[in-house]
Amino acid sequence: MKKNKRKIYFDYAATTPVDPRVVKVMLPYFSKKFGNTMSLHSFGQEVKEILEESREKVASLIGAKPNEIIFTSSATESNNLALKGIAFANKNRGNHIIISSIEHPCVMESAKWLESQGFEITRLKVDKYGLVNPEDVKKAIKKETILVSIMHANNEIGTIEPIEEIGKIIKSEIRNQNSKIYFHTDAAQTLGKIPVDVNKLGVDLLTGSSHKIYGPKGAACLYIREGTKITPLLHGGGHEMGLRSSTVNVPAIVGFAEALEIAKKEMKKENERLSKLREKLEKGILKKIKNAHLVGHPQKRLPNIANFWFEGVEGESVVIELDLLGIAVSTGSACSSEKLEASHVLLATGLKPHQAHSSLRLSLGRWTKEKDIDYVLKVLPKVIKRLRLISPTFK
Ligand SMILES: Cc1ncc(COP(=O)(O)O)c(C=O)c1O
């Protein structure tokens, strides 16, 4: 088959290219300003200064104080620290943790591991759009509850959870029971894409990621509200206020802070642009392809994520066919697509395994153009038609 020269990226929810403006601010911190932030000499002190400036920048962009931001290497690490760090620091008060059933695998697996260590985990059901019902959080809270962790928006279907409402419920429950229940949200898919303010959301901990917002890989943050009792996972030289020992990755952190600043500045305009493109994409797909279904909340959804399932086709086959045509998309999340199991998120929304296996996620971003949408709308219906012709299940 003739190889297609066109290369269109529709997988921005998996990762993003680094914005050239971000690369530019990072460059000096590789070879010129390369010191270790813990060194007392000038090489160390000049990078320590930029590290603290980056911390101030990230903090101010989410309504936090600088001493409430810990830089980590990834959202996976931040989520592990949030769950395990809170669990172990507070186990004298209780052993119960509440999460949703559609969390990212790094939260699901951390919770599963904590279960093996004697903690009790409640996994809240979601509705057909992937929404957690705040009342269910209220019902699940008991006197042993020490942590609630619900993601801000889901990475596969884009549904935005009612974090503010859940935060209020948790606060009122704390007053009733005179105990502390920490509230964590995984904002890896929302930070820099929709407004994120830790006080408005009412969270004690919040995970943010750099490589989802045109920053480099290798940098992320965990917001930890002042006074939170948390135990580090990495012990050593005492970096990051003793909560994350490891020589600090200054270039990546500088890039992360810059990427977040740009994303926040451009958010409103970019979201209007992306919403229009996504609407065109969704309407086009649902019009041109019969027996295609949209997954995720129709309104309460990130402006850049569209997830469909197509009767009678395997999502993986569509991904491969589209790749040959120069279009990069994913089935479910990039993190789970190497496994053959159906996505736990789609199953939680009520899809049957065969329906979940026929899903396709298209995620748009900074370099998505209208002509890219037009190209997808031209080739995807043909791909689905061809696959359905050879499908043993499609009638
Ligand atoms: C919601 C969410 N949380 C956590 C992660 C994990 O991020 P990373 O693999 O960069 O650690 C991702 C990545 O897709 C995500 O979408």
Query: What is the signed CA dihedral for 120, 124, 125, 131, rounded to 10 degrees?
Result: -160
According to the model, what pLDDT value does residue 353 have? 93
Q: Is the CB of 344 under 6 A from ligand 1?
A: no
Structure tokens at 99: 């999460």
According to the model, what pLDDT value does residue 139 have? 97
According to the model, what pLDDT value does residue 178 have? 58
DSSP state letter for 358: T
Please identify, by atom number, the ligand 1 atom nearest to the C-alpha of residue 154. 1
Name which of 43, 83, 306 is nearest 207 in CA terms.
83
According to the model, what pLDDT value does residue 393 have? 79
According to the model, what pLDDT value does residue 395 have? 76
Structure tokens at 290: 């019969």
According to the model, what pLDDT value does residue 334 have? 44
Sequence-distant (≥ 6) Cβ neighbours of residue 77 within 8 angstroms: 220, 233
Q: Residue 363 is inside which H or E element, if any?
A: strand 359-363
According to the model, what pLDDT value does residue 194 have? 98
Q: Mark whether 335 is an active-site residue.
A: yes
Q: Is the CB of 74 under 6 A from ligand 1?
A: yes
- Whole-Å CA distances, 111 to 12, 326, 348: 27, 38, 17
Spacing, Cα 149 to ligand 1 middle (Å): 14
Q: Residue 308 is inside which H or E element, if any?
A: strand 305-310
Per-residue pLDDT of the chain (395 residues; tens, 9 = 90+): 556 678 999 999 999 999 999 999 999 999 999 999 999 999 999 999 999 999 999 999 999 999 999 999 999 999 999 999 999 999 999 999 999 999 999 999 999 999 999 999 999 999 999 999 999 999 999 999 999 999 999 999 999 999 999 999 999 987 666 589 999 999 999 999 999 999 999 999 999 999 999 999 999 999 999 999 999 999 999 999 999 999 999 999 999 999 999 999 999 999 999 999 999 999 999 999 999 999 999 999 999 999 999 999 999 999 999 999 999 999 864 444 455 689 999 999 999 999 999 999 999 999 999 999 999 999 999 999 999 999 887 77
DSSP state letter for 97: E
Query: What is the signed CA dihedral for 9, 15, 19, 24, rounded to 10 degrees?
Result: -140
Say what the pTM is.
Answer: 0.96
What domains are defined for the chain? Answer: 8-17+267-389 (3.90.1150.10), 20-262 (3.40.640.10)
According to the model, what pLDDT value does residue 392 have? 81
Spacing, Cα 258 to ligand 1 middle (Å): 20
Q: Is the CB of 69 under 6 A from ligand 1?
A: no
Pairwise CA distance, residues 48 & 34, whole Å: 10
Spacing, Cα 275 to ligand 1 middle (Å): 22
